[in-house]
Structure 1
């Protein structure tokens, strides 16, 4: 396969020209796209075929302080080793979209789920996995990423009132397309194909057991991903997909499967909160006070909409909770940045002292 089949186009060629012009040393750089993310190593598609890649030591050091490690979907600049089956990654070509979240654990760090995605399928199954409030969080992540969100309600064959749930999702996601599909009954495929045209990249995200891997197999027309049943008691899934992987579809589209999320901690906000809760922002324009917090202020148009039933109370509660969460996250990010800058200065100072001592010894 050629890299054009993996999305390489004139736009990426222009960015690559800039990479080459900035490269002062002749390293024989070639472009490649990360098609498999296995943690410390990657599978990369190049014109020479699919090979293993790992980070150059200099790049690994730089990223240990700044974050932004290469991710599935990234285009990277690399050098092929003599054997031809391995490569060294030297830099990431500037991205046009980044889907990320706060990494699990106590460390404040960004975890990139996928890069250079055109459309993000937000997947929720029409069983006990169905959760409107969780979808609101996924929408914030999607709007912040630069990719276009589309909501997919899977396992429609298990639901007797899918039309009602479609309408419910459309109310909380105005302007976002919502599709109910069933891979088991081969129903709804045609409605998804316009998003997966030749050279277009689509990623799937959602909780474990929502049917992402089944969707990938269904859309690709063959079993490229392993699947397993969910637990009958609570419809919760097992982590069938353990790493991120990119596939080229028969029609030329590109699809990225990702491991299921037990929870979604938002990384930051670049306008996604207002887009995901656009109805509340529109109502807020009618509040008496411009700094209204929509809690107990007089003349609050949002609270009036809740009182009359125009706005669901759970939605405004989730908006407030998410707003507080993002504010707290931004404070943590700022502290982490200051800490990284401080550590970088210490490292640079130590490196400088070592160089000075070496010069003295050589004298």
Structure 2
């Protein structure tokens, strides 16, 4: 093996990162080149099958990590993956609101999700790199992460179910004020050429699909404020932190269409997630101040996390059995009131 491949990068041999990158690129190419050839609505059955495929890939990657880096790393990877996967269910509710607000039909949602996930891979990487750099310089930052998780978990337990107001999002307001936005969709295009009504010149304009994509990525950054500290509270190994996050996110777009159709069935899951956040935050203080600095057993973290999430899902499904899906509180708004109306639009080539 070439020497540069066995050199450490962020505490892990380069060839480990190379294997992970190859898998991510292959899965993305498969998605772009095969699954996303044409605009179509992904059915629930197809969504579940595709999601099972992505989860299977994530599980196999965890097996590889387990055998190559040991049981400790393997259990930390699985714990991070399960937490991120469970937290992503909340993302689904918010993403559904965003698509509803911008009147994005299901057949175009998959494309927006795909490009959104690709942006998230980069954004999460930057956030995780920043967190790792902070912890490398000051370990006490981990206590801030832990305290934040405990407070977030407690707040989540008592929080109401108020929906987010997409129309008040600063990004939506800024784009609609500083850029032309078409009042209707143009297929799966994010940008189109339009004829300016005042000057007669052909200019570029954004479509509602681009605005939805921007808001989805902003929403993910907000959710990452919870999930990134949660995984750092499990392990400070940057490789485990990043790979568990990305594998959970990669399968989100596949799982979205099945979850979006039955999101009302997971109403009580938030209490299990709140308990997970409190547990993960608390174990940092327990390990350092009760166990005398000994590392909290990884198998306990994995077992408790899995048990809480499973219990939350099962209780939600049992409690909401027979209930019909509720209407989303957001009203469809094909572009928003401040969007510029343009005619004689020509698609970008």
TM-score range relative to shorter protein: under 0.3
Structure whose residues are more often helix by fraction: 2
Higher relative contact order (CA 8 A, sep 6+): 2
Instruction: Pick the structure with greater CA Rg.
Output: 1
Structure whose residues are more often strand by fraction: 1
TM-score, normalised to structure 2, is 0.24
TM-score, normalised to structure 1, is 0.24
